[in-house]
């Protein structure tokens, strides 16, 4: 057995033991522990942020904001889990006259934690999608131990953050082994294929994410793999909107596609504008912000390569920027025509991670419907439109089948952590389109339902008892009721 | 292109077109259509049941009961879907002071149908898990078109039932192509790998189910595959229960494992009893019911082979029955010791589909915990125990991690269709342990969430509007409220 396997066996064994204890915690107790972790992280921003700056090239203000978002998210997920919102509790009392044709037994259903989860950190959110980010927070709050695979782009920050998390968990009395960190790809694969590991969560690119998804699905026991892999996030500008608010829309788009040097999974990478509206000219004249260095040399090379490949096409021209610098790159707008995009969709409609986007001029609004129909799965799709535009009904209808989030005269970057957020979508946006990796519904990824039939009260989970001792909304005999946590 | 591919292309194209229309139906309108289908099926029991008898060897009474269950299920799923119970609707109003550190936009989240679903029928429920069974009913009620792969065990019944379904859909004005039938394995695979198909649902054995799961996951765009593959359904009898109610427990077990000639996925296939309690002797003396022929020759051969392979083992003896007949087989109880089971778990703990079960005598109740820990994923696990048994707390705790449904002094056969039912479990019980194939939660398999950000009221789905025009319970700014459908 290799050293990696032995180390992973030990980590997983510790996670299993810790998970057994953690799953048995009172939900409010789990929330108290996670609030402790959030407090500890808030207290060390001055230590962590400089490490993050050094390792990611991201500016201090952005990183401080991201840390705040991260600890907010941790507390919100902990509180929603403690209120039992993710358990979908159902209580059916016995019914001798159930019209199915046979008496209905007493059946009560809640959810239990899946068990150990391997979480891969993302390069572009060194706090919010990393050590103590949304996937870790969801899994822990749902009652699962976490083995965290650090992103190689910020190893020191990962270790420093993990040390705070581990200390805070210990200080709050959480079981040892509940959270651990690994660094290499081999360790990540060994963990994902360990029989006692029950789920994976990932944010990153398509090739790496697909390889891990395939690994998880080809196990003797396949397990859920929640991967958020890629998205172009098209923006559809109607003729009426371009006429009414052209400059405002252009300014909003430029700010959004260059935000964070375009290193967001929700960056709007395709911008469809009416030919002859003057929007392309406005974009050509736009002052593009000077950006900082990208997250790491691999991302800078990848951006450069994608941009140059697109720019070299006969049917694509450079509209603005595009000086060819590798790192920091200048923000770049490329241009093509809708007919060309539709004729070569798979070559032109590609994610170019970094500050580059493609402006597409269309001649006829019907082409917007054609582009929408040609889309693969997207995290977001955006409409810049007027309320009385005739095209928006049919267009939104198609886009709802392609994307996880539709925006109306807003921009997809800046993903709010809320109850109604949906960050996911059909593949390749997500490998599990029925789930979200941001927002409180993210909790449901790490539990599965179990029904208890005919059980005595004292052996039921608290949320299923007649004298409900654990808060949760409950559907009783088919009728939904708010729980004591409400 | 092969004939199969062309035919499947046409069926899928028709399903996509029909699905676009069906997804746009008012939910109450979909429910009305499905009630029409249920009524039509109820009206033709005298025609369908004799065909089912001929093709499956199941007795008339059972088949009439199953048809009743099937139409009840269709109406229940239609009604629950019309009430929006499966949509997990969330409405977040804009909040400038959202403590995340950035203003919260107006975000509203509901679910949309996935699109065309391929449903595989099961051999052992020619109505309830076949043409108009739970998977078809869930998919249609959730707004998805269905391409139904008939089981080769009852092709005539499948065609006759499908004709009723298609006619009833047409009579109710549903779009043509919403439901279609295919028969061959090649057609099934072609449908599952068609780019426009968005999910699969299957009930059957592990090899076939796993092959289809692998096919669905290896598509360029992987899609959800809801497979219910296999389960042994162990029963744990405590010493105290054996002493208090030995004969009653034996009688209940015999009735359950022989019900329907043991051809249920929930058949209790392993029965753990205390050595020296006299239960094994009672089982040896039990009068096992004479059974009818099995569903088809393939199942009869499979049962015979599994039974003979187990019976030939040195550590397994024949306790009752086991005359060796292939079809109809006599009910058979095999016996082994807990130590032998634990020493050769994977060889002895196998599903033997038909009227055979393994009785396991244990010396020490701690062995029950060892067996529970050794289990792979199960649909059910049953406790025959006394309220004050010390072992049941720890035992149930382990079993909740292994099974989808736990039973207390009841029997796993006879799966009630209710709000709280959970029919699924960790692999291989299910390929998607977070879901159920029976009960109203089955609807959630065929939808995925979409969020609308900042949209004008008139472009929102009815359940997201301020003047909510479509019923659904809603979580508004994090607080759950019963919808107008309640």
The number of helices, as runs of H, and strands, as runs of E, in chain B is 15, 17
Q: Average pLDDT for residues B449-467, to the nearest whole number?
A: 98
Name the residue in chain A with its Cα closest to that of B453.
Answer: A407
Q: Which of B150, B133, B143, B76 is nearest to B111 (CA)?
A: B143
Domain stop point among B393, B408, B423: B408
- CB of A247 less than 8 A from some CB of B: no
Number of residues that make up chain B = 486
Suggest the residue from B451, B461, B471 to mutate for an interface test with chain A (most A CBs closer than 10 A). B451
Give the sign of the dihedral formed by CA B135, CA B137, CA B138, CA B142: positive
DSSP state of B205: -
- Please check whether residue B115 lies inside any domain of the structure: yes
DSSP state of B175: P
Question: Quick one: A339 exposed, middle or buried, by C-beta within 10 A (0-12, 13-18, 19+)?
Answer: middle
pLDDT digits (tens, 9 = 90+) for B183-241: 999 999 999 999 999 999 999 999 999 999 999 999 999 999 999 999 999 999 999 99
- CA count, 13 A, side-chain hemisphere, A205: 14
- Chain A residues whose beta carbon lies within 8 Å of the beta carbon of residue B417: 100
Q: Average pLDDT for residues A341-368, to the nearest whole number?
A: 97
Nearest CA of chain B to the CA of A317: how many Å? 31
Q: What's the pLDDT at A126?
A: 98
DSSP state of A319: E
pLDDT digits (tens, 9 = 90+) for A112-148: 999 999 999 999 999 999 999 999 999 999 999 999 9
- CB of A485 less than 8 A from some CB of B: no
Cβ proximity of B147 and B191 under 8 Å: yes
The answer to whether the CB atoms of A418 and B107 lie below 8 A apart is yes
Give the sign of the dihedral formed by CA A26, CA A28, CA A29, CA A30: positive
* SS3 (DSSP) at A131: coil
The answer to whether the CB atoms of A102 and B416 lie below 8 A apart is yes
CATH, residue B459: 3.40.605.10
Nearest CB neighbour to B410, from listed A414, A432, A453: A453
Query: Would you place residue B473 in the very low, low, confident or very high pLDDT band (cuts 50, 70, 90)?
Result: very high
The answer to whether the CB atoms of B455 and A408 lie below 8 A apart is yes
- CB of A298 less than 8 A from some CB of B: no
The answer to whether the CB atoms of B108 and A448 lie below 8 A apart is no
- CB of A402 less than 8 A from some CB of B: no
**Category of B205 on φ-ψ map: left (φ > 0), alpha (ψ -120 to 50) or beta:** beta
Cβ proximity of B103 and B96 under 8 Å: yes
- Chain B residues whose beta carbon lies within 8 Å of the beta carbon of residue A102: 65, 69, 414, 416
- Chain A residues whose beta carbon lies within 8 Å of the beta carbon of residue B407: 453-454
- Please check whether residue A419 lies inside any domain of the structure: no
* Domain span holding position B247: 234-408
Is the ipTM reported for this complex over the cut 0.95? yes
Q: Which residues contact A396 (CB under 8 A, 6 or more apart)?
A: A383, A406, B455, B459
- Please check whether residue A253 lies inside any domain of the structure: yes
**What's the mean per-residue pLDDT of chain A?**
96
The answer to whether the CB atoms of A213 and B222 lie below 8 A apart is yes
Q: Are B269 and B121 in a shared domain? A: no
- Chain B residues whose beta carbon lies within 8 Å of the beta carbon of residue A69: 100-102
- Chain A residues whose beta carbon lies within 8 Å of the beta carbon of residue B115: 401
Domain stop point among B392, B408, B424: B408
Report strand pairing: A332-337 vs A317-321: antiparallel
- CB of A345 less than 8 A from some CB of B: no
DSSP state of B296: S
Q: Are A299 and A218 in a shared domain? A: no
pLDDT digits (tens, 9 = 90+) for A432-465: 999 999 999 999 999 999 999 999 999 999 999 9
- Token look-up 């034996």 returns B250
In this structure, what token pair is assigned to residue A396?
A: 């939104």
Residues 147-206 of A with CB under 8 A from B: 198
Q: Are A121 and A62 in a shared domain? A: yes
Q: Are B150 and B293 in a shared domain? A: no
**Residue A192, number of CB atoms within 10 A of its CB:** 23
Q: Average pLDDT for residues A164-171, to the nearest whole number?
A: 98
The answer to whether the CB atoms of B427 and A222 lie below 8 A apart is yes
Q: How far apart are CA A354 and CA A262, in angstroms?
A: 4
A485 has a pLDDT exceeding 70: no
In this structure, what token pair is assigned to residue A76?
A: 């919100």
Question: Which residues of A are catalytic, by number?
Answer: 228, 265
Cβ proximity of A431 and A226 under 8 Å: yes
- CB of B224 less than 8 A from some CB of A: yes
Name the residue in chain A with its Cα closest to that of B404.
Answer: A450
Percent of chain A with pLDDT over 90: 97
DSSP state of B430: B
**Domain total in chain A:** 2
Question: Quick one: A410 exposed, middle or buried, by C-beta within 10 A (0-12, 13-18, 19+)?
Answer: middle
Q: What's the pLDDT at A483?
A: 52
Q: Average pLDDT for residues B375-391, to the nearest whole number?
A: 97
Nearest CA of chain A to the CA of B68: how many Å? 7
Q: Are A13 and A161 in a shared domain? A: yes
Query: Would you place residue A95 in the very low, low, confident or very high pLDDT band (cuts 50, 70, 90)?
Result: very high
Q: Average pLDDT for residues B177-181, to the nearest whole number?
A: 98
In this structure, what token pair is assigned to residue A79?
A: 């509180």
Domain stop point among B408, B442, B473: B408
Residues 50-109 of B with CB under 8 A from A: 65, 68-69, 72-73, 80, 85, 88, 90-92, 98-102, 104-105, 107-109
N-to-C CA span, chain B? 51
Taking every pair of C-alpha atoms in chain B, what is the biggest distance, in angstroms?
Answer: 76
Q: Which residues contact A382 (CB under 8 A, 6 or more apart)?
A: A233, A234, A235, A236, A268, A406, A407, A408, A410, A411, A412
Catalytic member of B85, B228, B365, B463: B228
Query: Would you place residue A1 in the very low, low, confident or very high pLDDT band (cuts 50, 70, 90)?
Result: low
- CB of A25 less than 8 A from some CB of B: no
Nearest CB neighbour to A65, from listed B85, B101, B435: B101
CATH, residue A368: 3.40.309.10
Q: Are B339 and B222 in a shared domain? A: no
Name the residue in chain B with its Cα closest to that of A414.
Answer: B102
- Please check whether residue A173 lies inside any domain of the structure: yes
Query: Would you place residue B404 in the very low, low, confident or very high pLDDT band (cuts 50, 70, 90)?
Result: very high
Catalytic member of B144, B265, B361, B365: B265
The answer to whether the CB atoms of B92 and A449 lie below 8 A apart is no
- CB of A457 less than 8 A from some CB of B: no
Nearest CB neighbour to A107, from listed B91, B418, B456: B418
Query: Would you place residue B74 in the very low, low, confident or very high pLDDT band (cuts 50, 70, 90)?
Result: very high
Count contacts between A and B (CB, < 8 Å): 247
Q: How far apart are CA A123 and CA B96, in angstroms?
A: 29
Percent of chain B with pLDDT over 70: 99
Q: Are B225 and B244 in a shared domain? A: no
- Please check whether residue A147 lies inside any domain of the structure: yes
Q: Are A271 and A397 in a shared domain? A: yes
Q: Are B258 and B189 in a shared domain? A: no
The answer to whether the CB atoms of A400 and B450 lie below 8 A apart is yes
Q: Are B331 and B349 in a shared domain? A: yes
pLDDT digits (tens, 9 = 90+) for A277-303: 999 999 999 999 998 999 999 999 999
Q: Are B152 and B289 in a shared domain? A: no
- Please check whether residue B424 lies inside any domain of the structure: no
**Residue A460, number of CB atoms within 10 A of its CB:** 20
Nearest CB neighbour to A433, from listed B217, B419, B448: B448
Choose the weakest-confidence range: B3-7, B257-261, B455-459: B3-7
The answer to whether the CB atoms of A426 and B221 lie below 8 A apart is yes
- Token look-up 């109604």 returns A420
- Please check whether residue B348 lies inside any domain of the structure: yes
Q: Which of B388, B476, B444 is nearest to B80 (CA)?
A: B444
Q: Are B251 and B360 in a shared domain? A: yes
- CB of B417 less than 8 A from some CB of A: yes
Query: Would you place residue B483 in the very low, low, confident or very high pLDDT band (cuts 50, 70, 90)?
Result: low
pLDDT digits (tens, 9 = 90+) for A186-225: 999 999 999 999 999 999 999 999 999 999 999 999 999 9
Q: Average pLDDT for residues B349-363, to the nearest whole number?
A: 97
- Can you spell out the DSSP letters for A60-88? HHHHHHHHHHHHHHHHHHHHHHHTTTTS-
- CB of A323 less than 8 A from some CB of B: no
- Please check whether residue B415 lies inside any domain of the structure: no
pLDDT digits (tens, 9 = 90+) for A413-434: 999 999 999 999 999 999 999 9
Query: Would you place residue B350 in the very low, low, confident or very high pLDDT band (cuts 50, 70, 90)?
Result: very high
Three state DSSP letters for B74-107: HHHHHHHHHCCCCCCEEEECCECCCCCCCCECCE
Q: What's the pLDDT at B322?
A: 85
């Amino acid at each position: 057995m290799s050293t990696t396997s032995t180390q992973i066996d030990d980590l997983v064994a510790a996670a299993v033991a810790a998970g057994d204890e953690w799953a048995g915690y009172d939900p409010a107790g789990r929330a108290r522990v996670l609030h402790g972790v959030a407090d500890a992280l808030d207290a060390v921003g001055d230590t962590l942020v400089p490490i993050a700056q050094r390792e990611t090239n991201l500016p201090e203000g952005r990183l401080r904001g991201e840390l705040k978002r991260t600890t907010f998210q941790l507390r919100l997920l902990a509180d929603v889990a403690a209120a039992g919102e993710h358990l979908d509790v159902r209580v059916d009392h016995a019914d001798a006259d159930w019209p199915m044709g046979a008496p209905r037994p007493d059946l009560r259903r809640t959810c239990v934690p899946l068990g150990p989860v391997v979480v891969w950190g993302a390069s572009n959110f060194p706090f919010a999608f990393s050590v103590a980010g949304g996937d870790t927070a969801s899994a822990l709050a749902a009652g699962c131990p976490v083995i965290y695979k650090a992103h190689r782009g910020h190893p020191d920050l990962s270790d420093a953050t993990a040390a705070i998390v581990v200390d805070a968990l210990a200080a709050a009395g959480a079981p040892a082994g509940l959270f651990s960190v690994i660094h290499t790809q081999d360790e990540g694969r060994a963990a994902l294929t360990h029989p006692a590991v029950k789920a994976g969560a990932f944010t990153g690119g398509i090739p790496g994410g697909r390889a891990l998804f395939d690994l998880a699905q080809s196990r003797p026991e396949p397990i859920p793999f929640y991967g958020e892999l890629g998205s172009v996030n098209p923006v559809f500008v109607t003729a009426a909107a371009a006429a009414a608010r052209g400059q405002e829309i252009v300014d909003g788009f430029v700010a959004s596609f260059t935000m964070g040097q375009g290193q967001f999974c929700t960056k709007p990478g395709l911008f469809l504008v009416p030919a002859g509206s003057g929007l392309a000219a406005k974009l050509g004249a736009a002052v593009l912000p000077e950006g900082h260095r990208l997250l790491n040399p691999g991302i800078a090379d990848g951006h450069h390569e994608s941009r140059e490949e697109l720019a070299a096409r006969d049917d694509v021209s450079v509209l603005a920027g595009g000086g060819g610098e590798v790192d920091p790159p200048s923000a770049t707008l490329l241009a093509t025509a809708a007919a060309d995009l539709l004729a070569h969709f798979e070559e032109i409609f590609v994610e170019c991670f970094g500050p580059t986007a493609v402006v597409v001029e269309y001649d006829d609004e019907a082409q917007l419907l054609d582009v929408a129909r040609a889309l693969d799965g997207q995290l977001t799709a955006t409409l810049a439109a007027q309320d009385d535009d005739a095209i928006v009904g049919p267009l939104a209808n198609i886009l709802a089948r392609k994307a996880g989030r539709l925006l109306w005269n807003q921009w997809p970057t800046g993903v709010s952590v809320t109850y109604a957020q949906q960050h996911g979508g059909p593949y390749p946006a997500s490998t599990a389109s029925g789930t979200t990796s941001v927002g409180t519904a993210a909790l449901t990824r790490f539990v599965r339902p179990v029904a208890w039939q005919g059980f005595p009260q004292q052996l039921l989970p608290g949320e299923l008892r007649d004298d409900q001792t654990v808060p949760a909304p409950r559907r009783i005999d088919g009728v939904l009721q708010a729980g004591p946590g409400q």
